[in-house]
Amino acid sequence: MRATLTLQVIRHQCIADGIYELTLDGRGLIDSVDPGQFLHILVGSGDVHVLRRPISIAEFDRGILRIVFRVVGAGTRWLSKQYEGALLDVLGPQGRGFPLPSSVSRGLIVGGGIGVPPLLELAKRLAHRGVELDVILGFPAKAHAFYSDEFASFGTVHMVTEDGSLGTQGIVTDVVRNLHAEHSLSWSHFFACGPHGMLAGLQTYFRDQDIDGYLSLEERMGCGLGACQGCVCETKGLLNRRVCTDGPVFNWREVVL
Amino acid sequence: MNTAVDLAGLRLRNPVMPASGCFGFGREYAEFYPLSCLGAVVTKAITGSGRRGNPTPRVTETDGGMLNSIGLANPGVDAVLCDELPWLRQQGVPIIANAAGSTVDEYCEVVDKLSRSGLVDAVELNVSCPNVETGGLSFGVDPDILCQLVTAVRPLCTVPLIVKLSPNTTDITAAAGAAAAAGADALSLINTLVGMAIDVKTRRPILARGVGGYSGPGIKPVALRMVYQTVKSVNIPVIGMGGIRTGIDAIEFIMAGAAAVSVGTANFTQPDACVVIVREIEEFMRQEGIGCLEEIRGCAL
């Protein structure tokens, strides 16, 4: 039988404006994590906040997990105040993460804002296999940017900000176009997580190209277990699919954004 | 000590069941505990054809609970009979199938198929979904229309027929009386209260559909009052629900006269909420020297 887990916070860090990283001790409780999976975390005792918050796992190393989130409301504000020694009630690891196809020859990783964290574990795994990676990370501004150094260990990083305060000015699809069209780079696979508009932009950009790709979606969640049908996405099939359990990662050709 | 209850001829080992829509068809929660620990399982709403439901966002937390506007998403009665209920049948727990539709004919089709399948122990008629344009609530708020619907499905339903009532009405006892007069074997209440939340940054409603059903601890006093009023006004059993998250909450509903209780939103907070509630009911009975729930049922009336 499954059960919720109690994980201790062993490190608390503010890594950018409004962005927090918590390191959790899952040793003896969590044996493995697929890149792109998330933890469904109880806020307080659950008396005031009845819904858990889905937070993606940025990295997993021998039972130690790093999770990253942006403070957007009362629930994530509470989470941002859980310091070393605090205990979190979590469900997970939840969801279907990124597949690691053996056919990846050169990979493109595209992250936007709070969509960046789940791509870190993916980059690590692909790099360890010797896959060459181009990584494009987009943020509104320098103050919101994080993890460029972490990704630099695994591939060539291109930073892009909307206001130009760090890296190229623009949005991630501008950089994709630049690398592809002007520098003649091409990829066997792309992996992306970020705002809806960014994912839709990538779908449009790659529409006529022979490329495999995976998108990780974000949606407001209820149970996080696949029962409530709250967090669905539209697909080309007759029924919706559930972001929490059929996803959050989907084949880029399957979802309708 | 005995927690068993009799509900319109159904023998339940305890009075606790998940509320429709909060438990899927049971598979996800069966990973956390054997479903046979429950009094019954109430399925997600089942319609004639498969439905995608409403656009997202269709759930959001709000003070004291949450809002949903799922919109009866389900794979349709034929797929449910083929893919879900045979599995659920093997879990050793009574099955209450929640039936919904947009027209009287659709309700009749769903109830008829479920009833004939031999896979369900009771049918709960969903006449109170606030999240669809037609069907659902439009059948539940007008006692005359409700009476016509229950009268139409009654002869097709060979298992106990439960009618799930909406709180979004001036007088819930009028709907309760109409359902009972038309042949309902039991009532369940309350469904969600219509509510909304606005994102002040985007200046738009958070839910894509604008409004949704409010559930969770915040609605408990309203639900308890409506169960109390309904139990006094009809002679058929009532399944009470609305904001129950502890055994003590459940005991309150039983003292207000509920034959059994349903647990909804609490399943999202803690996946084992229902079994914890069963344990807490037993603990209360032990502490208070209560031998069976009949001793306290309706004692607050």
- DSSP string over A16-33: ETTEEEEEEE-TTT----
- B266 at the A interface (CB within 8 A)? yes
Condensed to tens digits (0 to 9), the pLDDT of residues B182-239 reads 999 999 999 999 999 999 999 999 999 999 999 999 999 999 999 999 999 999 999 9
Contact between A46 and B270 using a beta-carbon 8 Å cutoff: yes
Q: Do B24 and A229 touch (CB under 8 A)?
A: yes
Bigger pLDDT: A173 vs B128: A173
Average pLDDT value over all residues in chain A: 96
pLDDT of A141 strictly over 70: yes
Q: Which of B241, B235, B260 is nearest to B13 (CA)?
A: B260
Candidates B22, B108, B129, B157; catalytic one: B129
**Domains defined for chain B, CATH in brackets:** 5-295 (3.20.20.70)
The answer to whether B36 faces chain A, any CB pair under 8 Å, is no
* Residue B197 identity (one-letter amino acid): A
What count of CB pairs under 8 Å joins A to B? 103
Per CB-CB distance under 8 Å, the chain B contacts of A42 are 269-270
Say if the Cβ atoms of B31 and A2 lie within 8 Å.
Answer: yes
- The shortest C-alpha distance from B25 to chain A (Å) reads 8
User: Which of B56, B217, B271 is facing A231, going by the closest CB pair?
Assistant: B56
Distance from A21 to chain B by nearest Cα, in Å? 23
Which residues are CB-contacts of A89 (< 8 A; sequence separation ≥ 6)? A4, A5, A6, A41, A42, A46
Question: What burial class does residue B79 get, using C-beta atoms within 10 Å of its C-beta: 0-12 exposed, 13-18 middle, 19+ buried?
Answer: middle
**Per-window interface: A 68-97 vs B, CB < 8 A:** 75, 91
Strand partners, A250: A215
* Model confidence pLDDT, tens digit, residues A19-41: 999 999 999 999 999 999 999 99
Instruction: Please say whether the beta carbons of A242 and A232 come within 8 A.
Output: yes
Check whether A6 has a pLDDT greater than 70.
yes
B144 touches chain A (CB under 8 A): no
Q: What is the dihedral of CA A174, A177, A183, A187, to 10 degrees?
A: 120
List all residues of chain B from 216 to 255 with a beta carbon under 8 Å from chain A.
Answer: 216-217
| 3-class state of residue A178 by DSSP | helix
* Residue B157 falls in the annotated catalytic set: no
Cβ contacts (< 8 Å) between B44 and chain A: which residues?
A: 229
Q: Low-confidence residues of chain B, pLDDT below 70?
A: 131, 133-137
pLDDT of residue B140: 79
User: How high is the pLDDT of residue B264?
Assistant: 98
**From the list B32, B217, B269, which residue is nearest A42 (CB)?**
B269
Residue A238 in contact with partner chain B when CB distance is under 8 A:
yes
The total number of residues shown for chain B amounts to 301
- B52 — contact with chain A (CB < 8 Å)? yes
Angle between helix B220-233 and helix B172-181 axes, rounded to 10 deg:
40
Q: Find chain B residues with C-beta within 8 A of A240's C-beta.
A: 52-53, 73
Using DSSP bridges, classify how beta strands B260-263 and B238-241 pair: parallel, antiparallel or unpaired: parallel
Q: Is B138 helix (H, G, I), strand (E, B) or coil?
A: helix
Output the CA torsion B167→B173→B179→B182 (10° steps): -160
